[in-house]
Amino acid sequence: MLFIILLITTVLCIAVFYFKKTNRNYWKKQNVVQVGDLMIKFMFSKESIPIMVKKIYNDYDEPYIGMTQGTIPTLVLKQPEDIKAVLAGDFQSFHSRGIIANPNDLLADNLLFMNDFQRWKIIRQKLSPVFTSAKLKSMFYILEQCSRDFVVYLEDNLHKQEKPFNALYTYTTSSIGAAVFGIDTQTKNTMESPFLEMAWKTLEPSIKQNIIITVSNVFPSLYKMLQLKVFGEYEDFFVGAVKKVLAERRQETTKRHDFIDICLELQKQGMMQDSTTGYELEPTDEVLAAQAFFFFIAGADTSASTMHYTLLELSNNPKILKKLHEEIDSVVESGAKEITYSDIEKMQYLDKVLNEAMRKYPPIGVIQRLCSKDTYLPSGVKIEKDNIVMVPVFALHRDEKYFSSPDVFDPERFSSENISNINNYVYLPFGEGNRICIGNRFARLQVKVGLASLLRRFTLVEQYNVTPTFEPSPFGLRSPDVRYEWKLRDI
């Protein structure tokens, strides 16, 4: 395997160099400003791609900027009208995220961000009911139990504040695990999740995984020929876990209102069918295991980061923190053991704080789409088949044209009086359009109940304008080492 990776790396570097030379004037020929190759810059940089793209966004007063990503011409969009066309209006041309998967990769090839439009559509249709208000309300007891266990976990392990992101990651991973598989009655604390180590390994930066993902996109034939797998090392563990739980739960009659319940319902209904096209897909254990796996890789890290940056900004802004404490204390009855679903719905200021945290630090810093057929954007630029367009979410969220004093943390941007002033398609914490994050409502609920429970018992030590340094990442804004301290409240 090491020899294969070294060989692939060598071939990749040669190919990237060749195509960089070949395509270096691709956009210039269309009278579009073109900068250097993003992939090469990222490979030899310590910056994340969202940061790189933000700098390009700020340096050019143009409606779009051209570049290459290895072999693929890529266009960074700046106009809300173009962004709307890509994410919603011309969805048929931009339905693909451009992430290639090998058919023998059970987890990657069946994930919800798959390229196959028909397969994606039917899975999306069947899984969307998981996230209705009624389903989330039924599932709330799981998240609430996890949030209480999280507080106990912190009380018993105050040293965890030395690495606060790791503690938050424990909560998000464990609560997703409980929402997928139910609460294990044999476990004293839900923070003791068997999936925590797997989630860490899946999301930690890895040279091997980055090379495999790059090959899958740049050399899909070679990727398939070598039968490489993005998540191959987790396949046996995770698919096996889902199969085991499904088998056990088929013997139960009690509803738990978790994801496994949904899986069992889908399997009882038989073949999944798209009524408009007739396309059919069998809800096998493997297909459903991949969707469960998707919740971990899509939600654990992004939700932990959102909580992380929210707490960082609250430590930097004591007046905002005080106001949030007052809201939580006024909504949750004194002495109440549990926070209710109704309590969370009443916490409007917490909602504003969360919205502003996701503006300043969006969970995903760039969104990309692969063009599936030649088309034109509203601004007039032509996008050819197999080219990529990139939505610079982080850059948009920090653009003073859309958000005054963008580096200032101000939850009042999202007050009822001000929110209507935010342009459409410039605030995109969960994306937008047909492929908006399917779990965004779950993620918000998970984060809000976690923060409310934490801040009900703890407060934050004030610090002055501590800013995060983001580690290299293709899409995210990760800063796991940034610090703040919490301490028990005197209540």
Beta bridge partners of 60: none
130 or 353: which leads in pLDDT: 353
Calculate the alpha carbon distances from 172 to 49, 140, 183, 195, 310 in Å: 24, 14, 14, 11, 14
Q: Which of 233, 230, 191 is nearest to 213 (CA)?
A: 230
Question: For residues 432 and 188, which has the higher predicted lDDT (pLDDT)?
Answer: 432
Position 18 scores a pLDDT of: 57
Residue 126 has pLDDT above 90, yes or no: no
DSSP H stretches of helix in 110-230: 117-127, 133-156, 164-181, 196-203, 207-218, 220-225
Q: Assess whether pLDDT exceeds 80 at residue 223.
A: no
pLDDT given at position 4:
55
Q: What pLDDT, on a 0 to 100 scale, did the predictor assign at position 187?
A: 76
Does the pLDDT value for residue 490 go beyond 60? yes
Residues making up the annotated binding site for heme are 437
108 has pLDDT over 70: no
DSSP state of 161: G
Bigger pLDDT: 248 or 115? Answer: 248
Which helix or strand (DSSP H or E) is residue 382 part of?
strand 382-383
**35-67, pLDDT tens digit by residue?**
988 877 887 788 999 999 999 999 999 999 999
CA 84 to chain centre: 20
Burial class (CB within 10 angstroms; exposed 0-12, middle 13-18, buried 19+) of 22: exposed
What would the pLDDT profile of 289-347 be if each residue is shown by its tens digit?
Answer: 888 888 887 888 999 999 999 999 999 999 999 999 999 999 998 878 899 999 999 99
pLDDT level of residue 436 (50, 70, 90 thresholds): confident
Question: Where does the pLDDT of residue 481 fall: very low under 50, low under 70, confident under 90, or very high at 90 and above?
Answer: very high
Of the candidates 38, 60, 36, the one whose C-alpha atom is nearest the C-alpha of residue 47 is 38
- φ, ψ (nearest 5 deg) of residue 99: -105, 110
| pLDDT score, position 17 | 59
Structure tokens at 416: 């009822």
Could you give the CA distance from residue 483 to residue 302 in angstroms, rounded to a whole number? Answer: 18
Pick 393 or 285 by higher pLDDT: 393
Q: Cα separation of 347 and 459, whole Å?
A: 17
Q: Report the residue count for the chain.
A: 491
Provide the sign of the torsion angle of the four alpha carbons 348, 353, 359, 363, taken in this order.
negative
Query: CB atoms < 10 A from the CB of 229, how many?
Result: 20
Q: Which residues, including other chains, have CB under 8 Å from residue 102's CB and lie 6 or more apart?
A: 108, 109, 216, 223, 224, 227, 228, 229, 230
Phi, psi values for residue 464, rounded to 5°: -110, 110
Q: Using CA atoms, how far apart are residues 87 and 354, in angstroms rounded to an integer?
A: 23
Round to whole Å and give the CA distance between 146 and 196. 14
d(CA 474, CA 40): 12
Among 48, 99, 68, smallest CA distance to 212 is for 99
The pLDDT of residue 393 is 98
**Region of residue 446 (left: phi > 0; alpha: psi -120 to 50; beta: else):** alpha
Sign of CA dihedral 12, 472, 369, 291: positive
Residue 141 has pLDDT above 80, yes or no: yes
Higher pLDDT, 263 or 446: 446
- Return binding residues: 437
List the one residue out of 84, 53, 64, 60 whose CA is nearest residue 381.
Answer: 64
- For the chain, list the domains and their CATH numbers: 2-488 (1.10.630.10)
Residue 14 has pLDDT above 80, yes or no: no
Rounded CA gap, 455 and 325, in Å? 7
* Of 464, 468, 474, 485, the residue nearest 360 (C-alpha): 468
Phi and psi for 31 in degrees, rounded to 5?
Answer: 60, 35
Percent residues over pLDDT 70 in the chain: 84
CA distance 261 to 246: 9
Integer CA distances (angstroms), 156 to 169, 177, 461, in order: 17, 22, 19
Q: Which residues contact residue 174 at a Cβ distance below 8 angstroms, ignoring those fewer than 6 apart?
A: 146, 149, 150, 190, 191, 192, 193, 195, 196
Both tokens of 111, joined, read: 């994930």
Name the one residue in this structure whose structure tokens are 């992939």: 39
